[in-house]
């Protein structure tokens, strides 16, 4: 039975074209800076997103960690959303490994952080306080695209208050495709950006941190320190390059599939949150466990949560969506 896995967009398999690109990749030792494919990926993304430099790393968690640590010293503070990946889902790495104090702020319904709340959280220059150095945003945030005008206002605020601005752009390209703009129109507002290649883009491994040459130089040292220096990493970078060259525009298909899934479930009477990109959130309440088991028996993998998240991706076809809707319909009457 073919499996329809909606738990995350991380579950994709490399496409045949991607596997060929990996097989054919020219390799060298990247810790010596000699892997031509890694260098090509780093140059490609830095240029595309409008930065001086970039750094290939194994995971988005490491990419964010290096970004935060490159901006902030021990005893500094960063402002971040209460539900942000960097704060909530990365093992507290910035605090544990960087001695960076997080200042979390409750997020708004549209995925943004209120600028007045941010401004109120910035600490005065006083030896009682940690030094507020950085604001970290996430885009997309739980599938929501931050408005461009908001990013511009956040940039103005951080510049005025002397803070750096980091973007966890794990799903940057979902936001760009949704807005119909080149990704650099989003990244232009930021001092550093982390992009995941292993989410909707479909690479098996890898993230890239972009920033100034100086920032990326610091991040490169930190990458070695946390054990992220890889050798013939070009096989992995080749997958990322292939994804960036061939699998960006198709994210629109994922968005259309998510839209169709949401519409189908609404017709069945489920409470589905508005969909912007590739994530569908549906209220299933205490039936979460039963629904998961019911769907598992029909080859559909779901998470089990009262606010159930379903994510569309490269390995989900339009026909799969109809099957999922049919399973939910059967569950309703079961
Ligand atoms: C997946 C993800 C990351 C990084 O995750 P890794 O699994 O470490 O690659 C960072 N931020 C967001 C928003 C993510 O969804």
pLDDT in tens, the chain (334 residues): 789 999 999 999 999 999 999 999 999 999 999 999 999 999 999 999 999 999 999 999 999 999 999 999 999 999 999 999 999 999 999 999 999 999 999 999 999 999 999 999 999 999 999 999 999 999 999 999 999 999 999 999 999 999 999 999 999 999 999 999 999 999 999 999 999 999 999 999 999 999 999 999 999 999 999 999 999 999 999 999 999 999 999 999 999 999 999 999 999 999 999 999 999 999 999 999 999 999 999 999 999 999 999 999 999 999 999 999 999 999 988 7
Query: What distance in angstroms lies between residue 60's CA and the mean position of ligand 1's atoms?
Result: 5
Query: In Å, what is the CA distance from 3 to each residue of 56, 221, 227, 312, 314?
Result: 31, 41, 35, 13, 13
Residue nearest to atom 14 of ligand 1 (CA): 170
Query: What distance in angstroms lies between residue 139's CA and the mean position of ligand 1's atoms?
Result: 11
Which ligand 1 atom is at minimum distance from the Cα of 90?
A: 8
pLDDT for residue 334: 79
Query: What distance in angstroms lies between residue 285's CA and the mean position of ligand 1's atoms?
Result: 26
Q: CA 273 to CA 279: how far, in whole Å?
A: 10
The verdict on pTM exceeding 0.95 is: yes
- Which among 301, 269, 228 has a CA at the least distance from the CA of 11? 301
Q: Residue 287 class from Cβ within 10 Å (0-12 exposed, 13-18 middle, 19+ buried)?
A: middle
Query: φ, ψ for residue 135 (rounded to 5)?
Result: -115, 130
Q: CA 29 to CA 34: how far, in whole Å?
A: 5
- Is 46:210 a contact under the CB 8 Å cutoff? yes
- Is 107:83 a contact under the CB 8 Å cutoff? yes
Query: What distance in angstroms lies between residue 330's CA and the mean position of ligand 1's atoms?
Result: 33
Query: What distance in angstroms lies between residue 88's CA and the mean position of ligand 1's atoms?
Result: 11
Mutate to test the pocket of ligand 1, among 87, 144, 168 (most ligand atoms within 8 A of CB): 168
Mutate to test the pocket of ligand 1, among 63, 138, 144, 170 (most ligand atoms within 8 A of CB): 170
- Would you give the DSSP letter of residue 286? G
Residue nearest to atom 10 of ligand 1 (CA): 60
- Which among 100, 75, 76, 74 has a CA at the least distance from the CA of 87? 100
Token pair in block for residue 244:
């960036």
Query: What distance in angstroms lies between residue 127's CA and the mean position of ligand 1's atoms?
Result: 34
**Angle, helix 288-296 to helix 318-333, in steps of 10 degrees:** 120
| Residues within a 6 A CB radius of ligand 1 | 59-61, 64, 85, 138, 168, 170, 196, 198-199, 207
């Amino acid at each position: 039975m073919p499996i329809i896995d909606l738990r995350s967009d991380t579950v994709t398999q490399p496409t045949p074209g991607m596997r060929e690109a990996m097989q054919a990749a020219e390799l060298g030792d990247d810790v010596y800076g000699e892997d031509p494919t890694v260098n090509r990926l780093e140059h490609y993304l830095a240029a595309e997103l409008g930065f001086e430099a970039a750094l290939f790393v194994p995971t988005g968690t490491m990419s964010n960690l290096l970004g935060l640590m490159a901006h902030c010293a021990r005893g500094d503070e960063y402002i971040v959303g209460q539900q942000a990946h960097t704060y909530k889902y990365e093992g507290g790495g910035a605090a544990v490994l960087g001695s960076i104090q997080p200042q979390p702020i409750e997020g708004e319904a549209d995925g943004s952080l209120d600028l007045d709340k941010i401004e109120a959280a910035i600490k005065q220059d006083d030896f009682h306080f940690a030094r507020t150095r950085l604001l970290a945003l996430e885009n997309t945030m739980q599938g929501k695209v931050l408005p461009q005008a908001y990013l511009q206002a956040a940039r103005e605020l951080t510049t005025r208050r002397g803070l750096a601005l980091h973007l966890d752009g794990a799903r940057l390209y979902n936001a760009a495709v949704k807005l119909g703009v080149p990704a650099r129109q989003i990244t232009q507002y930021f001092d550093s950006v982390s992009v995941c290649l292993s989410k909707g883009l479909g690479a098996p491994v890898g993230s890239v941190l972009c920033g100034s040459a100086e920032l990326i130089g610091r991040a490169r040292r930190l990458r070695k320190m946390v054990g992220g220096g890889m050798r013939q990493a070009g096989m992995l970078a080749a997958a990322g390059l292939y994804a960036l060259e061939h699998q960006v525009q198709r994210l629109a298909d994922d968005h259309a599939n998510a839209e169709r899934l949401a519409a189908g479930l609404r017709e069945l009477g489920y409470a589905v949150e508005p969909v912007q990109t590739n994530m569908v959130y549906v209220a299933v309440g205490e039936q979460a466990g039963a629904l998961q088991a019911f769907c598992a028996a029909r080859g559909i993998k779901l998470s089990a949560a009262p606010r159930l998240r379903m994510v569309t991706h490269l390995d989900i076809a339009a026909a799969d969506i109809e099957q999922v809707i049919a399973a939910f319909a059967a569950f309703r009457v079961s």
